[in-house]
Structure 1
Amino acid sequence: MATEEELFASVDALLGEEPQLPPPAERARLREAAGVTQARLAVALKTSTQTVKNWENGRSEPREPRLSAYQRLLNGWAEKHPKPGTAPAAAAPQSPAVPQTFTGPAAPEAPAAVEAPSVQAVPEPERPAARPSSRRPAAKKAAKPAADPRFPHGPLAVLAGDGSAYGVDGIVLDCPARTVPELVEWTLRESGLGAPRLHKNGKDSDPLIVLTAAAAVKLGLPERLEGHEQRRSLRLPEDHPVVKQVAKAKWELTQRGFGPWARIYRKAQGNQRQCVQLAILSWDALDPRSWPGVAEMEPADVARVLGVYAQRVITPRGSTAVSGLELMTALRPPTRAVRDEETGNWVPGHNPGSLGKDPMDPAPPEATPEHPVVVHSGWTGGFLNEEAYQWVRPVDQLTDEECMLPYAVGLDLNTAFLAAAARLVVGLSEPDHFHAPAFNPKIPGSWLVDLSHIELDPRLPSPFTPTGERPTGPAWYQTHTVAYAQELGYNVQPIEAYLRRETGAYLDPWHDRLKNAYVDTLADLGVTKDLDDQQFLAAMERHKDVDPALAAVLAAIKATVKGGIGKLRERHQGKNYKDGDRWPALERPTWRPDIRAAVISKARVNMHRKLNNMAKMTGLFPLAVLSDCVVYPSPGPSPLDFLPYAASGKPQPGGFRLGPTPGLAKLEGVQEMLWAIDLMEKGYNPARHIKGGDAVLDEGE
């Protein structure tokens, strides 16, 4: 027989249980019946209006101390405002020290009295929002069918210190994890996070959990990573308790260890991947140059920014440069399933149009001086120097008329490297060596040819060198550079070449996805294709203020383009590196300096073609060029004061045109002409400083 002590202990346990709230739709009904707005309730409970909305549509549940206060309020409202057709429940005595469970109206006896589906009380339904770790099933609101039912809660979540995991579309999940291994298990088993593959032969995107500083500390991680090395190379030591926890739970870390971007995984079982990506905000996971202001945003806003990026580009896998490279592979997977003729089994086979799954050494002139191909072969034949423009016109070439113009106006080409990647044919196989080949502009490769005899207007940069100076003898060039010399009417006779027999437009799907992401995000910021040039300039002037979150997405998309192309020739990063040693990037099939050279060569040629056409149409010559930015002398402070237009008012084809799509131009900045001349006399490039920042292509982060 139970003792009095045991009975009291059992009763006390029941009294101490977490209060049980009515269904979300009933919460909303009670509040509306009491004539209280969501904003007023939020003030009373010292929370946000959005949080109250989440409580009433089932996206999240309150926790103490608000839980007991909310429960008390709902109990009071339930007594005053019972459902129509039901009798009020007997009032239970309230104790200020003990939370009470919801009594509510009496249960209906007939099906006709069953409560209406919660969808009727839920505004703007978008996706189901069950709380995976709740003690009881949360009411689900009606929603549009999920793109993939395996991932009902989107690709990622931002975890706050109180255990709230903020996802896309305003969803908030309750994460009970107290350690990193528990977080990984929750993410894979309960969260409903992830994203479907971008290509039928690819892999699903692993879920991403972004940790705020408070969440990191709660999980046993330091708030900041300290050290004297570059921030991107910092990581936890192997003897750190969290690293030991991960190993003890039989999870593994990738070679880059537990740093700002950590991948925690177990080997796949069949087709089931077991991998979670973590990003720690206070460890500078989101570089402010690529994600301006995002690290300082509230968790829900961070989730929104990263969610839009994940939807339009890819679930972030690291820096924007890393994500740009990963996007290439996701859209052109290296393998596909093929049937083995002997066994009849399905096995991985080469996916046509991809770079394959094995790394490929470049031709010696395409490599870097420290590359093993160069060091071990003793190569001394020179290298490709296909880089973006960094050119300033000599001051003594300026005419009096140009110097008297009042303004220097900078134009910037939208994602110039992305525009260059469109329909770009690159090599897919290993390079073959040829002596004295006939030049063919359709074959991608590297050509040793003498272009020093070509004479062009000295008021324009040479299209053959990044410095804009005229070549002095034979040099290695990518196909597009040599083809442009031929386009200008000059004879080219290659001395030597490294060419690839298998070719394809490898970057086309990458270009298409990023172009759509760029154009769609600009349109969301009010910069649409239907604007005339004056309206376009006005919209661009204010677009960053329309929505800072989407402006950050736009910056990340642009950084993804430049960083992804730069990563194709990522240099070694170890401080103890010795020339001739291999470095980790060389083990990637996407370490392809020849593809990077092709993109930059085409972008630089495109820039020169526009400069040349502008000179013919307007008689104007640039003051300076830096990558995708050009500065012109102008009679007025707007590009409209010097860009060429037909009598109909339409822009003249061939020159610079304003617009929101890749390859078209926007205003970069305006300064006085005397400012530009002063910089030029001091040896500085006004294109670099006309607005601020550095437009030189990064080779990887």
Structure 2
Amino acid sequence: MPADHGDEAELFARVDELLADLSAQRIPLPPPRERARRRKAAGLSTDQIADALGCPAEDIAAWETGAQEPLAARRAAYARLLQGLKTLQRPEHQDTPPHQEPTPTPPSRAGKKAEQPSLFPAITPVTSTPRSRTALSQTVKLTGPLAVIDHDDTLTAHFTNGSQLPLDAENLVSLLQWTLRSGLRGDKLSKQGLDRDCDPLIVLTPAASAALHLPVALDDRARLRLADSHPVIIQLRQAGFHLTRRGFGPWPSVFRPVTDNKRASVQLAVTAWGALSQDGWNLPLLPPTDLARLLGTYTDRLLTPRGSTAVCGEELMTALRPPTRPRRAPGGGGEPNPRGLHTVLEPAPPEAPDAHPLARGRLSEQAMQEEAWDWNRPPSRQETAQFPHVVGLDTNLAFAAASSGLSVGLNSPPRHALAPAFDEKVPGAWYCDLTHAVLDPRLPSPFTPTGQAPTGPAWYTTPTLAYAQELGMDVQPIEAYLRDETGPYLTPWYERIRNAYLATMADLGVHERIPQADYLAAMKTLATADPALLGLLAALKATAKGGLGKLREGPRGITAPYTRWPALNKPTWRPDIRAAVVSRARVTLHRKMRKMAEETGRYPLAVLADCALYPAHVPTALDVVPPGPDKQGVPGLLRLGVNPGLAKEEGTQSMSWYQQRYDQGTNPARYVKHPA
């Protein structure tokens, strides 16, 4: 049967299209890092390129890192664009000094921004010609805490100042040897400790990992580490390198034995295995130079990354309050630092988590329950009739802020006492009966995580009982476990996190001491800000949250009940400190809500941790918080502002939505930001 000529034409057209696609895929493109260099030299953003090519900006970033390649007609258009950008620039053989664009003008105090400041001002990378690579990689003495290693024909180090350096490294051993010679190292954060400067961080992109013969993914998903029999591990051992007990995973630490009192250690981050995309890290896909700059900013403001954000939070505590200090007596050496945590301590029995050996046989009412709130109540008829909306007010870095100036136990074990007199200056766990408290049911009880009134004696931390006294209650402990050696251990940790958070928010155009309305307007534009800055902000907040969580780190994986786990052997495993922080954050929020009720007559409908839902006439936080004489709120009440301890608008919904969620048995505060 003869073929239909119409069908034949259609088939030929499809074949021609396929051949065109194959032809386009063969169009040569410059190396990924050169693509990024040309774009930046022309002063173009990834958004501008994406708009011209009709694709997402994420695709441009992926093309510039080599994670993906453009296809078909878009590849041809991208090649044409890059060739055009090349002709607009100076010939590559001319010497061009590094150039940094002027710092963007800061936004107004109101947070308005015509152009969002970027973490990454354009910098022409400092590179070397192939003839000079060997000399450079062997003789250049670098400064800085880290380098991002990428690969395209050769390994290239990208530094925090925007410069680049090709390396003569063919395997991981030679890369580590170069790192130890390079001079890369971060400054230590405290002058008290004996530790040397921080180990350098080497971040491997997926392309670099492949070039160094590391697998694309880890086969051992249970332990998340490379097998000891892998050729790379064997090469490291043969070259005299050692690994810590956690092995070669996403964040391996590689070292040589200390010789002549000199430390030779390198921290690695393998991004192909999730080092910067999980465990608190959620950084956007960035070119290597931009990634180096972002991590450099995190390092400058907090510390050199060492693992998950929780690990970084814990390491920051130790770095600022080191366990040892130089010995003052003749002979030098080191001695325990009385302001740090240097001794592994067993918790008091009520402070122990349920999985702890000390919890075996313990009655539930004998366990301390100092946790964050999960409380809600039905709206009254008057509230339903008067307020058609609900507004969530979320406290900025509430638990980190609660740690500032908080006196906690240090290195002495808990001392048991019967019928002690309560002293708000002594950290400890107190067994006390607070059932006689007379509290307004429109507020959650400050003494329980459920917000319900206590039903019998219970264990409380010092901040909770101090607040009970503040409310005029008679506090008579039955027994207690007290800490005699005390100090504000977390204060420098909080201050560094606060400063990092405020500096990053200022980069995003949100500043301190501005009227509440201007702060609210600035926060509403945050979602459209520079993704890199938003990724940095999220990492800072996760570091604060995770660091406090590490104080009561639980067992990992499946373990038998009441069996010790590794975290218990660290001086920084201190559930009593975490409990005191949570307690202080909870009573601080209660105090503000109580004063809000006295000032405005308005009570919260629900509270989840640090987020309180209030009824509102109109869907804005400005309807809930008093303006104050300077439009910056009233001290002592909930008020809007960027500082830790102040609040932001978490979300708004209708009162009918709240009622529906309440009837379903869920806490509406959990969903006010994302109602779906």
* Alignment match, 1:607: 589
Structure 1 residue 521, shift from structure 2 partner: 0.6
Counterpart amino acid of residue 488 in structure 1: L
Q: 1:199 aligns with which of 168, 184, 190?
A: 190
CA distance in 1, matches of 2:36, 2:571: 50
CA distance in 1, matches of 2:252, 2:312: 14
Query: Structure 2 vs 1, CA of residues 403 and 129 (structure 1 numbering), >3 Å: closer, same or farther?
Result: same
Q: 2:304 aligns with which of 302, 312, 315?
A: 315
CA distance in 1, matches of 2:594, 2:323: 40
* Alignment match, 1:92: none
CA distance in 2, matches of 1:276, 1:650: 47
Structure 1 residue 681, shift from structure 2 partner: 0.8
The question of whether the paired residues in 2 share the 8 Å contact of 1:130 and 1:137 is answered with: no
Match status 1:291 vs 2:281: yes
Match status 1:255 vs 2:237: no
CA distance in 2, matches of 1:412, 1:151: 47
The question of whether the paired residues in 2 share the 8 Å contact of 1:129 and 1:153 is answered with: no
CA distance in 1, matches of 2:31, 2:231: 40
- Among all aligned residue pairs of Structure 1 and Structure 2, give the percentage whose two residues are the same amino acid: 48
CA distance in 2, matches of 1:305, 1:617: 44
Could you list the per-position Cα deviations for residues 639-658 of structure 1 after superposition, in whole angstroms to 9, with x for gaps in the alignment? 11121234664522221011
Could you list the per-position Cα deviations for residues 167-188 of structure 1 after superposition, in whole angstroms to 9, with x for gaps in the alignment? 2121212233222222211111
* Alignment match, 2:375: 391
* Alignment match, 1:134: 133
CA distance in 2, matches of 1:77, 1:188: 35
Match status 1:212 vs 2:205: yes
CA distance in 1, matches of 2:334, 2:512: 43
* Alignment match, 2:47: none
CA distance in 2, matches of 1:595, 1:328: 12
Structure 1 residue 338, shift from structure 2 partner: 0.9
Instruction: Report the aligned-residue RMSD.
Output: 3.1
* Alignment match, 2:525: 542
* Alignment match, 1:301: 290
Could you list the per-position Cα deviations for residues 555-593 of structure 1 after superposition, in whole angstroms to 9, with x for gaps in the alignment? 111111110000000011132x22333211111110000
Query: Structure 2 vs 1, CA of residues 487 and 270 (structure 1 numbering), >3 Å: closer, same or farther?
Result: farther
Counterpart amino acid of residue 177 in structure 2: E
Structure 1 residue 416, shift from structure 2 partner: 0.3
SS at match of 1:135: helix
Structure 1 residue 42, shift from structure 2 partner: 11
The question of whether the paired residues in 2 share the 8 Å contact of 1:151 and 1:194 is answered with: no
Match status 1:361 vs 2:361: no
Could you list the per-position Cα deviations for residues 485-521 of structure 1 after superposition, in whole angstroms to 9, with x for gaps in the alignment? 1100000110000011111001111011111001111
Counterpart amino acid of residue 532 in structure 2: A
Structure 1 residue 364, shift from structure 2 partner: 1.1
* Alignment match, 1:18: none
The question of whether the paired residues in 1 share the 8 Å contact of 2:374 and 2:608 is answered with: yes
Query: Structure 2 vs 1, CA of residues 47 and 528 (structure 1 numbering), >3 Å: closer, same or farther?
Result: closer
Could you list the per-position Cα deviations for residues 509-557 of structure 1 after superposition, in whole angstroms to 9, with x for gaps in the alignment? 1011111001111011100114211111111111242322111111111
Which of these two proteins has the greater Rg computed from alpha carbons? 1
Match status 1:454 vs 2:437: yes
SS at match of 1:159: strand
Counterpart amino acid of residue 520 in structure 1: A
Match status 1:560 vs 2:551: no
SS at match of 1:214: helix
* Alignment match, 1:633: 615
Which stretches in structure 2 are left out of the alignment for 5+ residues?
1-29, 43-82, 102-122
The question of whether the paired residues in 2 share the 8 Å contact of 1:433 and 1:499 is answered with: yes
CA distance in 2, matches of 1:252, 1:174: 26
Query: Structure 2 vs 1, CA of residues 619 and 381 (structure 1 numbering), >3 Å: closer, same or farther?
Result: closer
Q: 2:165 aligns with which of 170, 173, 192?
A: 173
CA distance in 2, matches of 1:436, 1:636: 52
CA distance in 2, matches of 1:200, 1:580: 39
Structure 1 residue 291, shift from structure 2 partner: 3.2
* Alignment match, 2:11: none
CA distance in 2, matches of 1:693, 1:280: 36
CA distance in 2, matches of 1:301, 1:552: 12
The question of whether the paired residues in 2 share the 8 Å contact of 1:153 and 1:171 is answered with: no
Q: 1:417 aligns with which of 388, 391, 399?
A: 399
The question of whether the paired residues in 2 share the 8 Å contact of 1:525 and 1:544 is answered with: no
Structure 1 residue 427, shift from structure 2 partner: 0.6
The question of whether the paired residues in 2 share the 8 Å contact of 1:364 and 1:379 is answered with: no
Match status 1:281 vs 2:271: yes
* Alignment match, 2:414: 431
CA distance in 2, matches of 1:289, 1:580: 26
Which stretches in structure 1 are left out of the alignment for 5+ residues?
1-40, 54-68, 79-101, 105-117, 141-149, 695-701
The question of whether the paired residues in 1 share the 8 Å contact of 2:442 and 2:603 is answered with: yes
Q: 2:99 aligns with which of 117, 123, 126?
A: 123
Q: 1:49 aligns with which of 13, 17, 38?
A: 38
The question of whether the paired residues in 1 share the 8 Å contact of 2:281 and 2:308 is answered with: no
* Alignment match, 2:149: 159
CA distance in 2, matches of 1:567, 1:593: 9
Could you list the per-position Cα deviations for residues 376-413 of structure 1 after superposition, in whole angstroms to 9, with x for gaps in the alignment? x97887121111111111x2x52233355221111110
CA distance in 2, matches of 1:334, 1:128: 41
The question of whether the paired residues in 2 share the 8 Å contact of 1:214 and 1:223 is answered with: no
Query: Structure 2 vs 1, CA of residues 431 and 644 (structure 1 numbering), >3 Å: closer, same or farther?
Result: same
The question of whether the paired residues in 1 share the 8 Å contact of 2:347 and 2:574 is answered with: yes
CA distance in 1, matches of 2:248, 2:221: 17
Q: Which moved more, 1:605-614 or 1:192-201?
A: 192-201
The question of whether the paired residues in 2 share the 8 Å contact of 1:131 and 1:174 is answered with: yes
Structure 1 residue 269, shift from structure 2 partner: 2.3
Q: 2:335 aligns with which of 344, 349, 368?
A: 349
Structure 1 residue 127, shift from structure 2 partner: 13
The question of whether the paired residues in 1 share the 8 Å contact of 2:632 and 2:640 is answered with: no
The question of whether the paired residues in 2 share the 8 Å contact of 1:254 and 1:264 is answered with: yes
Counterpart amino acid of residue 206 in structure 1: D
CA distance in 1, matches of 2:620, 2:40: 46
CA distance in 2, matches of 1:548, 1:691: 20
Q: 1:264 aligns with which of 249, 254, 263?
A: 254
The question of whether the paired residues in 1 share the 8 Å contact of 2:516 and 2:631 is answered with: no
Query: Structure 2 vs 1, CA of residues 470 and 378 (structure 1 numbering), >3 Å: closer, same or farther?
Result: closer
Structure 1 residue 374, shift from structure 2 partner: 3.8
* Alignment match, 1:623: 605
Higher relative contact order (CA 8 A, sep 6+): 2
CA distance in 2, matches of 1:151, 1:510: 32
SS at match of 2:168: coil
SS at match of 1:48: helix
Counterpart amino acid of residue 123 in structure 1: H
CA distance in 2, matches of 1:407, 1:569: 38
Match status 1:673 vs 2:658: no
* Alignment match, 1:370: 355
Query: Structure 2 vs 1, CA of residues 168 and 403 (structure 1 numbering), >3 Å: closer, same or farther?
Result: farther
SS at match of 2:637: coil
When normalised by structure 2's length, the TM-score is: 0.79
Query: Structure 2 vs 1, CA of residues 655 and 378 (structure 1 numbering), >3 Å: closer, same or farther?
Result: closer
Query: Structure 2 vs 1, CA of residues 504 and 532 (structure 1 numbering), >3 Å: closer, same or farther?
Result: same
Q: 1:488 aligns with which of 471, 494, 502?
A: 471
Structure 1 residue 227, shift from structure 2 partner: 5.3
- Match runs of 1:22-61 below 5 Å: 48-49=37-38
